[in-house]
């Protein structure tokens, strides 16, 4: 028997969290704290784990399967916090039942599944959103505004480092584990999203774990810019830093420095190009180099819970029937880069990036 909502008393949207493991408790806590949501149920095959989470989040109902959840509880949306290989089946069943869906990263285990999820949501008129949490942090929101306003000028390079002494994951390599954060941030802050011209990955497995534990990802962008991502499970020092170099200014984001997360440097190299004529009359380009030494400043940042903003955005997208900034298409762009990184590792080459099809899609 379905439990129907009384919208005259509680107009909040009704949500269930599927998965009570690592990330599910964070989602459940933020949904439970939000005035825009009512946390109706926790769904997990491990009922003891689900009950333990329910006790911490206002005693929502507990379901042991998705079938039980969809049959017995009237909900508007589900939040998926399960292994990536399960995202597709759960999301497709929920979308078919008319539910809105938010999925933790990555969107799916491959872009074929990801594309089908995006298309199914579009056909059903439901919202599909990725929980790319970093995109809702104060620092990343500020970076997006600065780039949109042209504060840095033309982007010349991006260098992102995400390294720590971390667990070797049983089902994915370091690219699929850590790089989605950096790739989703780039897709969020770059005007037009992340659309590299090609993707090249280099990985190392010094532990003989059977997968890359250290990785370097290079992506040429339009206008000659280059994006570079370094991910590493083996570093004794934790670093979360991104440098965005522009023709006017350079931005450094140090996520582990709460006193000064963002710094803007009005320093750099100025290239005054001029035409040089060689003795053999062959034209060539030369450059007169000068250095610009200006001020450094740190923009003020608000303080708020990124996941709280994410769940609010999910509600706003549903009520307004509008895509979220981290919608399915954005998540799909991230997924395609991950796939092409895997293809590059396997082939020892640089697959050309196609915004419509990925390397693995072509192979399927």
- 210 falls within a domain: yes
Cβ contacts of 125 within 8 Å, gap of 6 or more: 321
Residues 170 and 76 in one domain: no
Beta bridge partners of residue 128, listed in sequence order: 101
How many other CB atoms are there within 10 angstroms of residue 168's CB atom?
A: 16
**Look-up of token digits 């042209």:** 150
Residues 128 and 141 in one domain: no
pTM of the entire predicted model: 0.86
- 143 falls within a domain: yes
At 352 the pLDDT is 52
Q: Which backbone phi and psi does 74 adopt, to 5 degrees? A: -85, 110
Q: Taking a C-beta distance cutoff of 8 angstroms, is the pair 99, 77 a contact?
A: yes
Model pLDDT for residues 137-158, shown as the tens digit of each residue: 999 999 999 999 999 999 999 9
Query: CA-CA distance, 228 to 216, in Å (whole number)?
Result: 7
At 354 the pLDDT is 53
- 362 falls within a domain: no
At 295 the pLDDT is 81
* Structure token digits, residue 43: 């769904």
- 356 falls within a domain: no
For the chain, residues with pLDDT lower than 70 are 1-10, 268-292, 349-364
* Structure token digits, residue 251: 């931005």
CATH number of the domain within which 248 lies: 3.30.360.10
Residues 265 and 139 in one domain: yes
- 345 falls within a domain: no
Residues 147 and 103 in one domain: no
Q: Taking a C-beta distance cutoff of 8 angstroms, is the pair 34, 62 a contact?
A: no
Query: CA-CA distance, 20 to 5, in Å (whole number)?
Result: 24
- 282 falls within a domain: yes
Residues 125 and 24 in one domain: yes
Residues 220 and 281 in one domain: yes
Residues 281 and 319 in one domain: no
Burial string for 106-137 (b: 16+ CB within 10 Å, else e) reads bbbbbbbbbbebbebbeebebbbbbbbbbbbb
Residues 145 and 264 in one domain: yes
Residues 113 and 39 in one domain: yes
At 292 the pLDDT is 67
- Provide the edge-to-edge strand list for the sheet that holds 13-18: 61-63, 37-43, 13-18, 77-80, 100-104, 128-131
Residues 47 and 160 in one domain: no
At 10 the pLDDT is 43
Beta bridge partners of residue 204, listed in sequence order: 214
Residue 47 three-state SS: helix
Residues 158 and 36 in one domain: no
Cβ contacts of 227 within 8 Å, gap of 6 or more: 157, 158, 159, 160, 186, 194, 196, 218, 219, 220, 221
- 3 falls within a domain: no
At 287 the pLDDT is 52
Model pLDDT for residues 38-54, shown as the tens digit of each residue: 999 999 999 999 999 99
CATH number of the domain within which 50 lies: 3.40.50.720
Total domain count, the chain: 2
Query: CA-CA distance, 191 to 29, in Å (whole number)?
Result: 32
Structural domain harbouring 88 = 13-132+307-328
Residues 180 and 287 in one domain: yes
Query: CA-CA distance, 181 to 341, in Å (whole number)?
Result: 15
- 363 falls within a domain: no
């Amino acid at each position: 028997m379905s439990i129907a909502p009384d919208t005259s008393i509680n107009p909040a949207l009704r949500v269930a969290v599927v998965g009570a493991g690592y990330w599910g408790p964070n989602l459940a806590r933020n949904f439970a704290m939000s005035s825009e949501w009512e946390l109706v149920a926790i769904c997990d095959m491990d009922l003891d784990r689900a009950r333990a989470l329910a006790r911490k989040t206002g005693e929502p109902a507990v379901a042991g399967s998705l079938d039980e959840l969809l049959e017995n509880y009237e909900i508007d949306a589900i939040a998926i916090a399960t292994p990536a290989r399960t995202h597709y089946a759960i999301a497709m069943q929920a979308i078919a039942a008319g539910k809105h869906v938010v999925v933790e990263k990555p969107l799916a285990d491959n872009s074929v599944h990801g594309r089908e999820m995006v298309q199914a949501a579009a056909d059903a008129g439901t919202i599909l959103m990725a929980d790319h949490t970093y995109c809702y942090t104060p620092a990343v929101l500020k970076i997006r505004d600065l780039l949109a306003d042209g504060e840095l000028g033309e982007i010349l390079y991006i260098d992102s480092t995400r390294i720590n002494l971390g667990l070797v994951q049983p089902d994915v390599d370091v690219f699929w584990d850590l790089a989605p954060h950096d790739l989703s941030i780039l897709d969020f802050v770059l005007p037009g999203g992340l659309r590299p011209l090609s993707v090249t990955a280099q990985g190392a497995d010094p532990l003989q774990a059977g997968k890359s534990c250290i990785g370097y990802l290079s992506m040429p962008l339009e206008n000659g810019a280059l994006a570079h991502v370094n991910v590493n499970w083996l570093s004794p020092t934790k670093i979360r830093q991104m440098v965005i170099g522009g023709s006017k200014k350079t931005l450094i984001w140090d996520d582990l420095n709460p006193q000064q997360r963002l710094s803007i440097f009005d320093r750099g190299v100025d290239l005054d190009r001029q035409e040089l004529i060689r003795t053999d009359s062959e034209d060539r380009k030369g450059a007169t180099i000068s250095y610009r030494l200006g001020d450094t400043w740190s923009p003020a940042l608000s303080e708020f819970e990124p996941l709280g903003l994410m769940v609010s955005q999910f509600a706003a997208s549903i009520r307004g029937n509008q895509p979220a900034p981290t919608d399915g298409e954005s998540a799909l762009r991230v997924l395609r880069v991950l796939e092409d990184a895997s293809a590059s590792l396997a082939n020892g080459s640089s697959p050309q990036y196609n915004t419509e099809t990925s390397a693995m899609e072509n192979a399927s």
